[in-house]
Structure 1
Amino acid sequence: MRRNIKSYLIVDGYNIINAWDDLKYIAISDLEGAREKLIDLIIEYAEFTGRKAIIVFDAYNIKNSKETVENRKHIQVVYTKEHQTADSYIEKFITSLSKYDDVKVATNDYAEQQIVLGKGAARISSRELKLDLEHAKKSMKEKNSSNQKKIQRNWLEDRLDKETLSKLENIRRMH
């Protein structure tokens, strides 16, 4: 029996923001900007790899916050409810998936990594995620540049000598 295996990348949002210097620097003055930059990077990654990406931001210390889920292009962005950590959300989410699904969880949190591994998912560190993103971006650029080369026009006039081109032009004008 063939199973419909799904591929997921689950990202512990704030953990990754705090692990990457460029995002951590943005977050000092603009947390929303850092979140959006991470979201944009993960959208590109998901688009290229075909993985369903879920970024989880916890609202653990935000009073009266309700869980919200934003569906964006190729990804879901989850903001947890009050008193729920990203770790607990991720753990619960992984448990809801099929044991046959291909699941990667990006976090540097050691306790979370152990839980993830115990649930049968793979864990990747923030560093590995950054390398994966850079590889995907590089591959996309290479793919796009090779597509551009294929799209270049291929006209007869570009391949004929001037004399033959002149004769054909004269024939065209006579008719």
Structure 2
Amino acid sequence: MSAPRTLTYLLVDGHSVIHAWPELRKEHVKAARRHLARLELLTRLRNLQDMSGMQVVVVFDGARQGTNEEREPEGLQIIYADPGTTADTIIERLVARYAAERPMRVVSADGMVRETILSLGAEWISPEILRGLCDGAERDMRTRLA
């Protein structure tokens, strides 16, 4: 009998990825369509989670009062930072708290975040690498459905 597999957590700085992916950035610059960029990112991350078995946690800089969290049943965990806190800060706190206990990967285009999370024991993934992981997961999904 093999040992149970440790769940890997993928922490994603949502706005960092939206600004790094041209097709999402294009939607995000138009206030009336900003939500579409978020929805598209969440759809792609949901597919990645379903196909990879990683637990995906998406953190957005927030505009609402108080830190808000949503958890889909068997799905994504979405955190909105309160106006006085950034997504970077929340991600760094999560890594500082949990990286010693479980495998964590962080997606951010921010070099300071990369240096901090690496020093805390997490892995770093660029938004471009994340796109490749999402593309691969979606190809695998199409193959399984075919």
| Structure 1 length-normalised TM | 0.76
CA-CA distance at 1:6 after TM superposition = 2.0
- Alpha-carbon deviations, 1:102-157, whole Å to 9, x = none? 21111110000001101111010010000010011111111222xxxxxxxxxxxx
RMSD: 1.6
Unaligned runs of 5+ in 2: none
2:111 is aligned to: 110
Unpaired runs of 5+ in structure 1? Answer: 146-175
Percent identity between the two aligned chains: 24
Matched, 1:46 2:49: yes
Distance 1:94 1:46 in 2: 19
Question: Could you say which residue in structure 2 is the equivalent of 1:35?
Answer: 38
- Superposed structure 1 runs of 4+ greater than 3 Å apart: none
Partner of 2:19: 18
Q: State the alpha-carbon separation in 2 of the partners of residues 114 and 21 from structure 1.
A: 25
| CA distance in 1: counterparts of 2:133 and 2:46, whole angstroms | 13
- Code of the residue aligned with 1:33 in structure 2: it is L
What TM-score do you get using the length of structure 2 for normalisation? 0.90
Taking structure 1 as reference, are residues 128 and 98 closer, same or farther at Cα in structure 2, changes over 3 Å only?
A: closer
Deviations, residues 71-120 of structure 1 (Å, cap 9, x unaligned): 12521110011210111100111122151412111111000000110111
Larger RCO of the pair (alpha carbons < 8 Å, separation 6+): 2
Larger Rg: 1
Aligned pairs for 1:59-138 (under 5 A) are 59=62, 62=63, 65-72=65-72, 73-138=74-139
